[in-house]
Amino acid sequence: MRFPLPITPAAWLSAPPKNPGATWTPKSILSCYCGAPAVYKYVGPCIFYRAAGLKADGRLADAYSGEWWVESAVLEHIYNKLAMYNGWLSPSELVRAASAQYRAITALCFNWNDMSEMCCLELPDRESVEGLAGAAMPQPAWSNRGLDPNDPRTPMLRGKGEQVFFKVKNPLWVEPVRPF
């Protein structure tokens, strides 16, 4: 369950706490949303997911300490949309389609990670965490190629799926899963 908090996103992002070593700024986070995000207090039980894996440079995108997540309802929506293809597509094709839908609506650039790993953040009953939620900004499929998002030839990830940014969270709530 989530409850709106009476604070602007910029003020919330500027206020402590912030993970040690985090390099983001309020402006860089807010630029990842289309429309106006809002700050919420999430009270468990709640489940969130985050894709991770190898980046284009061969380094690992850390699923445990990452700040960007989606609520379980986002994956449920993807699976519900694909349910009409059960029996028409093979199980492996449905997995690829679900993975592609996740990448598209979260605007997760291909060079950020290969989605070979997925983690689940399971917020225990009555525990809480604050997060900034809103629609993901559409962006080019590759963020490291200097692609112009205004050029109609640029391959784009549509975004607009709800994403949640957590400044801090309990890493003991995070564990690997295989939802796709």
What is the structure's pLDDT at 116? Answer: 85
Closest by Cα among 112, 83, 106, 104 to 155: 104
- Contact of 50 with 66, CB cutoff 8 Å: yes
Residues 130-154 pLDDT 10s: 999 999 999 999 887 777 888 888 8
Strand partners, 54: 60
Residue 74 Cα to chain centre, angstroms: 10
Mean pLDDT of the region 104-133? 92
Q: Nearest-CA neighbor of 38 among 75, 80, 78, 5?
A: 5
Confidence of residue 88 (pLDDT cuts 50, 70, 90): very high
Read off the pTM: 0.89
